[in-house]
A and B are shown apart, each in its own frame.
Chain A
Amino acid sequence: MNPFKKLINSSEKLFTGSGKLKWLEPLFDATKSFFFFPSPKNKHTPFVRDNLDLKRFMSFVILSLLPVLIFGIYNTGLQAGIAKGESYTFIQAFLLGSRYVVPIILVTYGVGFFWEILFASIRKHKISEGLLVTGLLFPLTLPATIPLWQVALGISFGVVIGKELFGGTGRNILNPALTGRAFLFFSYPISMSGDVWIAATSSVDGVSGATALSILAPEGEKITTALTHSGFTLSRLFLGFVPGSIGETSALCCIIGAAFLIITRIANFRIIIGGVAGLMATAIIFYLIPGGSDSWMNAGPLYHLCAGGFLFGISFMATDPVSAPGTNPGRWIFGFLIGFLTVTIRVANPAFVEGTMLAILFMNVFSPLLDHIVMKYNASKRIPNV
């Protein structure tokens, strides 16, 4: 037998029955089932079950996040280099980026799992896989220079208030990662504002750099010209070589991840397509309204699509099945309205330069209502059978 399995089996009695570490049973169980995939015999009909389970489901979201993550680490280093006036090779930039990003991820998982294990131990249920995804999504929405204590605070709020208070994974109303980010966004606006800090190792531990969305054109100039002048060309926004939160900058990487999720049917394509359609339609409508050529009102659909965190949010946050509607018409409306609200907040609300997070959280709240309406409509179409 595999020596590792031997170790697990021999320590099992410590954690189960009347063992000394009985209170840590959920942790032991999660470790064991992470390494050795459990597959008990079915007790009820149907006696055969599909191979897909929640661990694999969640692992696929992590796989889809890898391009975003790797590019995010690289870009963090790259932007720091640009700020210092040095040009790094890929390896140098990646290593420098890792110094900022990896601690954020480690703190997120560490603190997140602490709460998960605490609640699982008290409630005596198994640790759910949901945190695997939350724990990677959350850091990717943060700027690289955020203090680690804020990371810990944010993920604590996301996991405890956003999820565990409602009963854990599967019962939350809001996306836990976004709930945590919203908490930081409103509590510590300085480190989270539209002017994202660029990681740099100079004596001042950060240089302020504006993100594309906070740019306003001077009198008489078009917004697109102003963006180009500031270095935010459409192609750079699409590829992602711009300052911003760790994971949000590259539209291309988000599209790769979204395509993977759609092909494997882990995410529902209706939300993503609906969201992009909603964003495009709204951006075109604002574009056609006369005036405002110096603001994001006149930026047009492609700039709205590639700038900011919209593609990241719609591909990975809005598609979280728990907080999205469970009916197909509901998913179309949900996605479309996220797109609509994102542009509306960006353009019409001077208080917030970025609207994706607020749009998704707002629609999360409405998804049970959307489901309710769709289910009532479907029920009225059925031939009653009572």
Chain B
Amino acid sequence: MENIKILKGFKPTLTGMPDLSTIQIPEPETIAVSAMDIPFIRPKLLVKENDSVKTGTPVFCDKRNNRIQYVSPGTGIVKHILFGERRQLKEVVIALEKTEDFVRFEPISSEQMDKASRSTMTAQLQQGGLWQCFRQFPYRDTADETHEPPMIIVSLNGNDPFSPHPKVVFENEFAFFESGIKLLKLFSKRIIVTSRQGSLQRLNGHKDLITHVVSDSYPAWDPAVVLYKLKQTPKENMSWCITAEHLILIAKFLLTGIYPVKRVITVTRSTDKKPHIITRQGAPVKNLVGSLAENSLITTGRFNGRSVDPGSHLGFFENTLNIIPDNQTEELFGFISPGLTKPTVSKTFLSCLTRTPKALDCNAHGEERACINCGYCTNICPVDLAPSFILKALLSEDIEDALSYGLLDCCRCGLCSYTCPSKIELTKILSDGINAHYKDKE
């Protein structure tokens, strides 16, 4: 096990860490396949409203590559197809039926796994609706099947500081993870398995496969940060990444021949310590979060997720829901209060002297101002970017400069926006810059 030292990042401890116990919630009435969390997708629907679907029936595919399909995680009838602005597909809602019927594939045995050819495995995974588990840098788009990645980074931890703990994810499924790692060797010569320091002590007996340990401050365990620290040549920019959870799904699917629907998710709230929840892929948000305080915000990652409303459903890549309270009070002379309980990464509140966990809220704590070049974003960026300089290059439409400053190394962790005293939407501007560059290239 090698250590990867990452000195920057978000260090304060937060309240609301989920408990390591698990509970299973009853089957929901509806589930959905969401298109909201899929990168760069141009979906093409394969079902109509009132069609009946089995577990594993393709619901839509990606127009950019028709072989990449997104399948139904349950058996039932397509109830709604929801569109957003400009007829952008949001989600396909399916009303679940009591009996479950599967689209079945030929299972392969664990011994066959490392002998099979790369192309048959790829085809099998694409038909089964799991190829998209592989993501390719630098855009973190769905992996290109014709590309041979110089390394594949398997990440045991999710996008949020409180994403499901790998111990819970591995429970009863570690054998699948081991076969998954075997499978990855078909695709790349170099397999990196990373875990954050804090997860390690609960992983007794499951540590052998971990190759790199990263520090415990968010987002050190993000595969983009790991790649940035490991890469030696420009070729390695096109590496792939996958989460441990998705690797288990892939192995399970290949070994059993049916689409796995079980997911482990966490719901975090600053005031409690909830257990991990076992549910079905695409479960409705309202079933997971329970009762809500007024105005609070639900996100699928407080730093880098999207905001979801209770009526929508969890996406394929999402396994965390943060319930963030809204403290929209206009505090008298708020800008000069000592702030014993106010979380901060700066040294301007007394709270930076205490080590007690802090609660975050979904408020801006100030208004937007011009950039004053203070350098807080540079000090926190885990991949050593200078976001304020990239921002200025992007605002003056100097994409060449932005790229040479390392724009595509950005892991979209959200910390530059988090820390900015001028409250500039740095992450959004950088992220839009990356997306615009992607569209230019296409």
**Which of A1-46 touch B at CB < 8 Å?**
2, 5, 33, 35-42, 44-46
- The reply to whether B422 and A54 form a contact with Cβ atoms under 8 Å apart is yes
- The reply to whether B370 and A168 form a contact with Cβ atoms under 8 Å apart is yes
**Which of A158-208 touch B at CB < 8 Å?**
167-171
Selected contact of B373 from candidates A36, A44, A53, A170, CB within 8 Å: A170
- The reply to whether A53 and B418 form a contact with Cβ atoms under 8 Å apart is no
- The reply to whether A57 and B374 form a contact with Cβ atoms under 8 Å apart is yes
Q: How far is the CB of A264 from chain B (nearest CB, A)?
A: 5
Q: How far is the CA of A67 from the CA of B332 in the complex (A)?
A: 26
- The reply to whether A382 and B342 form a contact with Cβ atoms under 8 Å apart is no
**Which of A31-89 touch B at CB < 8 Å?**
33, 35-42, 44-57, 59-60
Q: How far is the CB of A160 from chain B (nearest CB, A)?
A: 17
- The reply to whether A321 and B372 form a contact with Cβ atoms under 8 Å apart is yes
Q: Is B397 an interface residue (CB 8 A)?
A: no
Q: Which residue of B lies closest to A37 (CB)?
A: B334
- The reply to whether A49 and B365 form a contact with Cβ atoms under 8 Å apart is yes
**Prevailing SS type, chain A contact patch:** loop
- The reply to whether B330 and A375 form a contact with Cβ atoms under 8 Å apart is no
With a CB–CB cut-off of 8 A, which chain B residues contact A2?
332
Selected contact of B297 from candidates A41, A170, A322, A378, CB within 8 Å: A41
- The reply to whether A39 and B373 form a contact with Cβ atoms under 8 Å apart is no
With a CB–CB cut-off of 8 A, which chain B residues contact A60?
348
Q: How far is the CB of A308 from chain B (nearest CB, A)?
A: 27
Known: A37-B333, A52-B346, A375-B386. A385 touches B361 (CB 8 A): no
Q: Which of B85-93, B194-202, B303-311 contacts A (4 or more CB under 8 A)?
A: B303-311
Q: How far is the CA of A35 from the CA of B404 in the complex (A)?
A: 43
With a CB–CB cut-off of 8 A, which chain B residues contact A56?
335-336, 348, 366, 421
- The reply to whether A47 and B330 form a contact with Cβ atoms under 8 Å apart is no
Q: How far is the CB of B5 from chain A (nearest CB, A)?
A: 18
Q: How far is the CB of B37 from chain A (nearest CB, A)?
A: 12
- The reply to whether B339 and A45 form a contact with Cβ atoms under 8 Å apart is no
Q: Which of B328, B360, B404, B420 has the most CB of A within 10 A?
A: B404
- The reply to whether B362 and A48 form a contact with Cβ atoms under 8 Å apart is yes
Selected contact of A42 from candidates B306, B363, B408, CB within 8 Å: B363
With a CB–CB cut-off of 8 A, which chain A residues contact B367?
33, 38, 40, 53, 126
- The reply to whether A375 and B405 form a contact with Cβ atoms under 8 Å apart is yes
Q: How far is the CA of A378 from the CA of B390 in the complex (A)?
A: 13
Q: Is B389 an interface residue (CB 8 A)?
A: yes
Q: Is A268 an interface residue (CB 8 A)?
A: yes
With a CB–CB cut-off of 8 A, which chain A residues contact B348?
52, 56-57, 60, 264-266
Q: Is B157 an interface residue (CB 8 A)?
A: no
Given contacts A47-B362, A385-B234, 10 further A-B contacts (CB under 8 A): A5-B332, A35-B332, A39-B330, A45-B427, A47-B322, A51-B342, A52-B346, A53-B367, A170-B371, A263-B347
| Top 6 A-B pairs, shortest CB-CB distance | A53-B366, A37-B334, A170-B370, A46-B414, A36-B330, A55-B335
Query: Which B residues form the contact surface with A (CB < 8 A)?
Result: 138, 231-234, 236-237, 295, 297, 299, 301-307, 322, 324, 326-336, 339, 342-349, 360-367, 369-376, 378, 386, 388-389, 403-406, 408-409, 414-415, 417-423, 425, 427-428
